[in-house]
């Protein structure tokens, strides 16, 4: 005889999916903040009239 599915199992799966989604969101946000920071530094360099601004991209 088979047992009925555990109702708590669905809740655990949803919680795990939510945690995975939040982890991806945090990692993506940190990556995006880094990209925006690098681009801001480069744009500030260009705005100051320098011509060697591509050398700033070496910190990747």
In a domain, residue 16? The reply is: no
pLDDT at 35: 95
> Residues 44-52: contacts with CB within 8 Å, 24+ apart?
none
In a domain, residue 29? The reply is: yes
In a domain, residue 14? The reply is: no
Which tokens in the block code for residue 52?
Answer: 């060697």
pLDDT at 47: 92
In a domain, residue 32? The reply is: yes
How do residues 1-60 score in pLDDT, each as one tens digit? 577 666 678 889 999 999 999 999 999 999 999 999 999 999 999 999 988 887 766 554
In a domain, residue 34? The reply is: yes
**Residue range of the domain that includes 44:** 25-60
d(CA 54, CA 8): 55
The domain tally of the chain equals 1
d(CA 13, CA 19): 10
Q: Which sign, positive or negative, has the C-alpha torsion 13, 15, 16, 21?
A: positive
In a domain, residue 60? The reply is: yes
């Amino acid at each position: 005889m088979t047992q009925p599915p555990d109702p708590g199992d669905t809740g655990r799966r949803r919680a795990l999916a939510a945690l995975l989604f939040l982890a991806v969101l945090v990692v993506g946000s940190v990556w995006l903040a880094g990209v925006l920071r690098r681009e801001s530094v480069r744009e500030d360099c260009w705005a100051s009239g320098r011509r060697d601004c591509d050398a700033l991209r070496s910190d990747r």
